[in-house]
Amino acid sequence: MTDDTVATPTTGPDHSGAYSHRQVLTILSGLMLGMFLGALDQTIVSTSIRTIADDLNGLSVQAWVTTAYLITATITTPIYGKLGDLYGRKKLFMFAITVFVLGSVLCTFATSMYQLAAFRAFQGLGAGGLFTLVLAIIGDIVSPRERARYTGYFMAMFGTSSVLGPLIGGFFAGQATILGIAGWRWVFLVNVPIGIAALVVVIRTLHIHHVRRQVRIDWWGAVALVVALVPLLTVAEQGREWGWDSPRSVTAYVVGGLGLVAFYLAEQMMGDAALIPLRLFRIRAAAVTISASVIVGMAMFGGIMLLPLYMQIVHGASPTEAGLLMLPMVAGMMVGSIGSGQVISRTGHIRMFPIAGSALIVVGLLLLSLCGADTRMTWVSLSMLVLGLGLGNCMQPLLLIVQSAVPPTEIGVATSSATFFRQIGGTLGVAIFLSVLFSTVGGNIQDEIQAEAQTPQWQQAVAAGGGLDPSVVAKVQDDSSFIDTLDPVFAHPFKVGFAESMDLVFVLAAGVGVLAFLILLLLPPVELRATSASVAARAEAGS
């Protein structure tokens, strides 16, 4: 039995392992800085990636930068959860922050897109621990029932990062140089001071008790997981360009399938020491929650990732403006999360929130599917608000349920498993919905051009000396920026075509949301523990 560090009267737990509200808030300051580091990086890079790709002459391979980061972050998520259960989370959290910061520094000096992809893969090794360890640490120090009180702080952090990310990324990408360094390189360099601040705060404030357990480490499971996920995530990102039935895609399917079989056999062989213990799926609440996490991840990431594209392509917003226009959804997430957290904390009732949240997600996505090229932003904002309310009522309660359904000693692996499967669902959702978008947008634009070419406005624009080069329709999937340079009459069918394809994606995402709703109806009543995992672990260890 050991502590991660020496406890102090102001920051450590009492003799029973319980923490006061003030101590929890102090610890939260360090945890939120670490989580903010990862959340901000995602929004900054996504805003700046086109500028980065243009500067490094690699626009056609920019997807590899995203894929490399996603693969390593996803694979390491359950590994961090398991190692945290074994060796304690504070040192592991500091290690994850350090790796993430070092990866950021390496990305700053990248000279090609392939080199940047390699450095982003290294950065992802740290990113995999930022979210799952924070959520597991909260599970250690706060009981599930009380944990809902602190949800608002994390949602406020996510909201801040979702607004600041596009603003900061747009600013850096728009600068030729800052202090003699190319502007886009500051997108990664800005992580360094934030990461150092997070490390200092974590060292000073995070004092958590850890009960050391001697168990085997599931190295075979980790290797099999890599063999399974690398080809499957790669084909999910690249299949649209390769062709879903191309030899490269088929090879990825086969290798990934063999990896999944090997992973299942390894987990079965390791039993209690498995990276993702199969017995978790024999607990009904955990099985339903994890299954729903996959579906919610698909609907959430696959649906809302189109919203910035909708703002920029259809409504002509800049990346910075698109970030600000997302505020209604952020506000909905915060209101839904804080409201549900307060009710859960006071009553202990939780089952109704993910069910209602999944229903609101479906309604929000269906409302978004009604948004066209000429829809007023008031309607779009209302639709995003409903979607945000659904997400806020769904995400945190699902995590609380799975953390309460497992023994206190396995809260880390349960947290990482739920996060891992949600990320897998999100990756699949993004790949599938992007494929639908780009496979239908060309035909929709062509149909709209033919329809609008018969209108007096179009004919007047042509007579005034204008015209539309037919070849630009084929190029729009690689570079949509030229739409803003067209005469509004000629630009309109492009915007309508994109809006129609996005509407189809939102309908499909809503269908996925219905599946999540049906799965969550199977959720049994769950009693949230009144003690934290740390207190329960001490009691179990007899200390």
Under a CB-based contact definition with an 8 Å cutoff, are residues 276 and 267 in contact? yes
CA–CA distance, 341 with 150 (Å, rounded to integer): 8
Q: What is the pLDDT of residues 254-312, one digit of tens each?
A: 999 999 999 999 988 888 778 788 888 888 888 898 888 888 888 777 666 778 778 87
Q: Regarding the domain with residue range 1-217, which homologous superfamily does it belong to in the CATH classification? A: MFS general substrate transporter like domains (1.20.1250.20)
User: Would you call 480 exposed, middle or buried from its count of C-beta atoms within 10 A (0-12, 13-18, 19+)?
Assistant: middle
Rounded distance between C-alpha atoms, residue 350 and residue 400, angstroms: 9
Give residue for tokens 């959520």. 135
- Cα separation, 244 vs 104, in Å, equals 33
68-101 pLDDT tens trace: 887 788 788 888 877 877 777 888 889 999 999 9
Whole-number pLDDT of residue 357 = 92
The amino acid at 55:
D
CB 509 within 8 A of CB 307: no
Closest among 292, 4, 306 to 137, alpha carbons compared: 4
Given this model, what pLDDT does residue 8 score? 44
Full-prediction pTM beyond 0.85? Answer: no
Closest listed residue to residue 81, CA positions, set 419, 407, 539: 419
> What are the structure tokens assigned to 31, written together?
């945890």
Low-confidence ranges of the chain (pLDDT < 50): 1-11, 15-16, 543
Which residues have C-beta within 8 Å of that of residue 286, sequence separation ≥ 6?
280, 402, 405, 406, 414
Per-residue pLDDT tens digits for 183-227: 888 888 888 998 898 888 888 877 766 555 555 777 888 888 888
CB atoms within 10 A of CB 463: 8
* Domain 283-462+476-543 belongs in CATH node 1.20.1250.20: yes
